[in-house]
Structure 1
């Protein structure tokens, strides 16, 4: 089984570099790397590169062209040698593993789950191929960058059987001077969290066009009070929060995301938070 790695620089050139990884003694067809245009990374993280790992696996290799299959694609951020001072960022993104170790384990895990579907399909011969065509992707993106701050998002999209696929999103906010990932309490004063909750609920009501006097549960939410999430982000417009399907509302309501303007919550920020935000808003 072949897993393909290739690297794209932020200068719109492909850095040809392939790693051949063997996970199982099974035949499979690997699609050629699909190279797309590379994006430009600015600010303090100018040197970042995008590393792509992908793998295609046929459930029944002997059924050439007719077998259901699974495609895994990981688009990850890497730090070049000259930016080793910021190595703490990929350490946080990839749970302390090297980028290749992380991709290795992720692909191996999903390959194992998918191969196990052979036994399941054998017990249910009428199972549709649609249910057996799986996909999994992760895309790491640098959303904002200044000499002091970096905001990275992780978009996951996958289908592993069932009624529909799923999407998930996570944010990582990094202080480049203090060399650490920030928690919400690092930018918002803890004693003001209740006030922040009120702003979050108001922003969601505005997004979904729900008047103050109507309980949120009457418009599909699971609860009438919406609290902020630890999974926050910062952008030039404000402080943002995001909820995946099923976190606070049904799948049909999709991904929910709000951004609270800085002018509405400036007094809630910590001194360090104000410093980071000031540079981001320039």
Structure 2
């Protein structure tokens, strides 16, 4: 499978030389964005990089700062690209340019107000996102979208959004697609969670975790990666901001008994690729 790099400043698109990410393919098999092909039933894609900055600067004669939006994300063939668009542009936009326009418009209005009041020490903002392909095997695709944003205040926001797809049937996957019994799944995952958090089988979650009624709850945010099923809790979901995010990975073999036929097919293709 080939991956190319596209860099855009919002005014144009610059193509860089492709690099091979599948050892059994030679450079002459490179494809363009309009002729993406499947290789060994996995999806070929390119990486796009987009950056746009505000014309307004904050600071003084010695220190200047400005606001920017930066995005790095995969670009697939059109049918797949439409499927994964909402996983990349999470607020309903259709492309990076729209995200930049919306984000920078908010800052520019704020900056103009500060300049009119003769305050040049206002805070610069930023929004950065890095969406990567975490799993790309026959029939399955997983994206990890890491988003970091600051718009003033004590600290910014950093989150990860995981999205998983059945590429054969062109649909987003849920846990119920992969596991017969999500209650049994939760019980297995909790064992791994308690071990990772150094909690005994009978320890109360108490005030250290934000689980409702002190009952362990699976994260809505899950990902399929080569080493297993991943659950990611973003800051504030089950712990305080200061404690950061929590990521848990369960080996597929530990989950085989509760997998659906589709889940077992995932296990098979992942095992073949490792």
User: Normalised by the size of structure 2, how large is the TM-score?
Assistant: 0.77
Structure 1: gaps (5+ residues): 1-8, 22-32
Return the match for 1:160 from 147, 151, 164: 151
Corresponding residue for 1:180? 171
Contact 2:189/2:250, CA 8 A, preserved across alignment: yes
Q: Give secondary structure in 2 for the equivalent of 1:47.
A: coil
Contact 2:8/2:51, CA 8 A, preserved across alignment: no
Corresponding residue for 2:131? 140
Corresponding residue for 1:194? 183
Q: Deviation per CA, 1:215-245, whole angstroms, max 9, x where unpaired?
A: 1124x21122221133211223221110100
Corresponding residue for 2:95? 102
1:206–1:53: structure 2 CA closer, same or farther, 3 Å change rule? same
Q: Deviation per CA, 1:16-75, whole angstroms, max 9, x where unpaired?
A: 766429xxxxxxxxxxx9x9x978378644530011111122434897874431121011
Partner Cα distance (1:124, 1:222) in 2:
42
**Which is worse superposed, 270-279 or 53-62?**
53-62
1:247-258 correspondence runs (5 A) = 247-258=237-248
Corresponding residue for 2:209? 221
Structure 2: gaps (5+ residues): 23-38
Contact 1:58/1:68, CA 8 A, preserved across alignment: no
Corresponding residue for 1:78? 75
Partner Cα distance (1:122, 1:109) in 2:
20
Corresponding residue for 1:279? 269
Q: Deviation per CA, 1:108-141, whole angstroms, max 9, x where unpaired?
A: 1111221232366469978965xx1221111110
1:38–1:194: structure 2 CA closer, same or farther, 3 Å change rule? same
Number of residue pairs matched by the alignment: 251
Partner Cα distance (1:248, 1:96) in 2:
22
Corresponding residue for 1:40? 21
Contact 2:129/2:148, CA 8 A, preserved across alignment: yes
> How far 1:266 moved relative to its partner?
1.1
* Match status 1:235 vs 2:228: no
Q: Give secondary structure in 2 for the equivalent of 1:162.
A: coil
Corresponding residue for 1:259? 249
**Which is worse superposed, 87-96 or 163-172?**
87-96
Q: Give secondary structure in 1 for the equivalent of 2:215.
A: coil
Partner Cα distance (1:155, 1:56) in 2:
20
Q: Deviation per CA, 1:183-222, whole angstroms, max 9, x where unpaired?
A: 1111112xx222222223222222221222321124x211
> How far 1:254 moved relative to its partner?
0.8
Corresponding residue for 1:30? none
RMSD (Å) for aligned C-alpha atoms? 3.5
Partner Cα distance (1:217, 1:230) in 2:
21
